[in-house]
Amino acid sequence: MSLTPAEVMQLIQSLIWLLAGVGVFIVGMNFMGDALEKSAGSGMKSLLEKISNNRFSGVGIGAGVTAIIQSSSATSVMVIGLVNAGVMTLMQATPIIMGANIGTTITGVLVALKNDYFNMAMYLLAFAGVMMGFFKNEKIKIAGSLCSGLGLIFVGLNVMSSEQAFGNPLVERMFTDIFEKIDFPLLLILVGAIFTALLQSSSAATGVVITMVGTGVLSLDLALFIILGANIGTCVTALLASVGANANSKRVALIHFTFNLIGTVVFTAIIWIFKEPVVSVLTTLIPGTDAMSLQMRVSVFHVVFNLTTTLLLLPFVKLLVNYSCLVIKDKKETQAPALTLKYVDDRLLPVAPVALMQVKKEMDYMLDLVEENILLSFSSIEKGTVEFNEKIKKNEEIINFTNSALTNFLIKLSVDVEQSAERTIGSYFHVLNDLERIGDHAENFSEIVVEMNGKGIAFSDVAQEEIASMREQVVQMFAICKGVFKNNDKHLLPELTAIEEGVDGKKKELTAKHYSRLAEGRCNASASPYYSSVVLGLERVADHLVNVGYSIDNPVGSQKGAN
């Protein structure tokens, strides 16, 4: 292909125009995906909360989540994060990965619908979306992002298919020459895989291929192989995300790659042998020579490929899981495992609703640890022994780590979330602080027993009875607080407040009785500061529990001051 200097300049300008179209298309996809994620956040949460061992529901969840966030790669990364956090098993993750491939075909169908009238409507939608962004109402802004994102997808597609890009005879001739030289199925698959890996989006790669077919730059028989390659290339994101994760997360990435590889091999063999009949079936199914008909054939093939591959491999989920376990072995621990979060993983950061759902689970676990430590420290005071101190210290180490790690995670998460999520994150910061402080009080109680034992001091029977009466109230508060915080049961808040006020009154009562005993010489003066510390600590634990309970009703901060 020999070109004059003027034609070379024209070709360069067309390629720049083409890249601009691809860029606008990807920006539009991201806009739409972010808006869908924010508007359907609760729906996505409810989908993921229904995770079970049912394969068909797993496929539905994967397809639904991917349809919401418009990216099978993002869904795969999110699943890897959930598996890495121990929330999801491999048997549960595998059907979700399969469903993600089905959900990603929606973008291709949208792209194929492109025609002149539809384009004009999308341009207006993009403009309307930008205008909606000037409103103060959060929901209108999200709807605006959705509209502008959807509109920009078609603006980008039309830039790509315009006379300045794929519509330019020079560009058409260049790509025709290129594809004539690589008119070999395996090379075309490789091109599709590399192109998708570079774009980090099979939806974007598929959109470009569909546009090329619509403009006549690429023939349908060659496009089918490139589409197959795109399904291999989309695994790169998941493979990269699994680096540094645990063995199960690496297995998820391997299953994702294997699933797409098997589907590609099967369809490559079929199309390679029966290329003309396949093209003929698609042409008969969608007749016409206009751009929309040409594009729809590619889109339909993409849907058929992912549906068929899923139906083909769904019965073999267990086999895929066993294969991944055979290839990727569990590492033997040579030293004590480092502290890690139980439910949260940084790979969940791009999907704020899911990330917040996992943060809540982590905080529920932290609340359980805090309660365990408080009860153990109560037993230490009651028995006057230090047998639980080692367990308390181990739990306290986890509590402190969880507080620090979750705080850092929430800081990263708060960078780009909607207003309601900001309020939730703000309340979680306060809850973490309150839970960590309760844990500190539990440790303080155990240390008090250590000091008293070292000095040969013990509480009198009267003092033990008084402390026990206050402890019972705090134990009641723990049970109610867990019901409020874990189950979002606001009806229990008045009862929680009433008991806390009773604890305040009990503190005053016990302090007065204690000073009276001291004055009358009926109390061991050396035990006095320890008694006062326990009573004061119990009252502050009660304050922190009220703060945790009211966090679900007061997103701006804690209700009571406590240390």
Give the pLDDT confidence of 165-182 residue by residue, as tens digits. 776 777 777 777 888 788
Phi (first) and psi of residue 350, to 5 degrees: -65, -15
Long-range interactions of 334-340: CB distance < 8 A, separation 24+: 339/397, 339/398, 339/401, 339/405
Is 148 within 8 Å of 29 (Cβ atoms)? Answer: no
Whichever domain contains 535, its CATH number is: 1.20.58.220
Would you state the pLDDT for residue 398?
94
How many CB atoms sit inside 10 A of residue 230's CB? Answer: 31
State the average pLDDT over residues 466-487.
91
Q: How far apart are CA 334 and CA 202, in angstroms?
A: 40
Q: Residue 537: is its pLDDT beyond 90?
A: yes
Task: Using pLDDT thresholds of 50, 70 and 90, give the confidence band for residue 557.
Answer: very low
Chain segment 495-536, per-residue pLDDT in tens:
999 999 999 999 999 888 888 887 777 777 788 889 899 999
The answer to which of 313-317, 484-488, 551-555 has the lowest mean pLDDT is 551-555
Q: What is the pLDDT of residue 39?
A: 65
Position 558 confidence tier, pLDDT thresholds 50, 70, 90: very low
- Residue 298 in any domain: the answer is yes
Does residue 341 belong to any structural domain of this protein? no
- Say whether both 391 and 440 belong to one domain: yes
Identify the domain containing residue 521 by its residue range. 346-550
Mean pLDDT along residues 405-413: 92
Q: Which of 481, 425, 353 is nearest to 37 (CA)?
A: 353
Contact in structure between 525 and 457 (CB atoms under 8 Å): no
Instruction: Report pLDDT for 41.
Output: 59
Average pLDDT for residues 25-35, to the nearest whole number? 79
Highest mean pLDDT among 55-59, 274-278, 395-399: 395-399
DSSP codes joined into one string, 494-557: HHHHHHHHHHHHHHHHHHHHHHHHHHHT-S-GGGHHHHHHHHHHHHHHHHHHHHHHHTTT-TT-
- 361 shares its domain with 270: no
Q: Is there a single domain that holds both residue 322 and residue 361?
A: no
**Which residue in 76, 47, 283 sits closest to 200, CA to CA?**
76
Mean pLDDT of 378-389: 88
In a domain, 63, yes or no: yes
Residues 403 and 455 in one domain: yes
Separation between Cα atoms, residue 405 and residue 536, nearest integer Å: 29
Is residue 225 within 8 Å of 185, Cβ to Cβ?
A: yes
Q: How many domains does the chain have?
A: 2
How far apart (Å, rounded) are the C-alpha atoms in residues 33 and 437? Answer: 39
244: left (phi over 0), alpha (psi -120 to 50) or beta: left
Same domain, 394 and 274: no
- Residue 446 confidence (pLDDT): 92
pLDDT at 266 exceeding the cut of 90: yes
User: Residue for token digits 């502050």?
Assistant: 540
DSSP 3: -
Report the candidate in 23, 9, 27, 278 with the shortest Cα–Cα distance to residue 149: 27
Comparing C-alpha atoms, which of 112, 72, 107 is closest to residue 220?
112
Tell me what pLDDT residue 268 has. Answer: 94
Task: For residue range 317-336, list pLDDT tens digits in order.
Answer: 999 999 999 998 877 655 55
pTM listed for this prediction: 0.73
**Is 5 a domain residue?**
no
Residues 300 and 401 in one domain: no
pLDDT at 448: 92
Residue 150 and residue 294 in one domain: yes
Say if residue 228's pLDDT is above 50.
Answer: yes
Confidence of residue 304 (pLDDT cuts 50, 70, 90): very high
Domain stops at, among 327, 356, 371: 327
Reduced 3-state DSSP string for 280-326: HHHHHHCCCCCHHHHHHHHHHHHHHHHHHHHHHHHHHHHHHHHHHHH
279 and 373 inside one domain = no
Query: In the structure encoding, which two tokens stand for residue 106, read together?
Result: 């929606």
Least confident of 137-146, 318-327, 392-401: 137-146
Q: In the structure encoding, which two tokens stand for residue 282, read together?
A: 């698609």
Domain boundary among 327, 357, 373: 327
Q: Are 389 and 482 within one domain? A: yes
* Within a domain: 336: no
The larger pLDDT score, comparing residue 47 to residue 488, is at 488
Last residue of a domain, one of 298, 327, 356: 327
**Are 22 and 208 in contact, with CB atoms under 8 Å apart?**
yes
| Rounded Cα–Cα distance for residues 545 and 439 (Å) | 11
Query: What does the pLDDT read at residue 45?
Result: 60
For residue 395, what pLDDT is reported? 94
Tell me, yes or no, whether 177 lies in a domain.
yes
Are 449 and 510 within one domain?
yes
- 70: alpha, beta or left? (left if phi > 0; alpha if psi -120 to 50): left
pLDDT tens column, 93-104: 899 989 988 888
Whether 205 and 279 share a structural domain? yes
Closest by CA position to 39, among listed 129, 109, 118? 129
- Reduce the DSSP state of residue 87 to 3 states and report it: coil
Task: Tell me if 339 is assigned to some domain.
Answer: no
What is the rounded CA–CA span in Å between residue 83 and residue 64?
A: 19
Residues 384, 279 share a domain: no
What per-residue confidence (pLDDT) applies to 1? Answer: 57
Does 562 fall in a domain? no
d(CA 4, CA 242): 49
| pLDDT per residue as tens digits for the range 81-134 | 778 777 778 888 899 989 988 888 887 887 787 667 777 888 898 899 889 988
pLDDT of residue 556: 44
Alpha helices per DSSP H over 162-246: 169-181, 185-199, 202-214, 220-233, 235-241
Residue reference for tokens 């598929």: 206
Q: What is the mean pLDDT of the chain?
A: 85
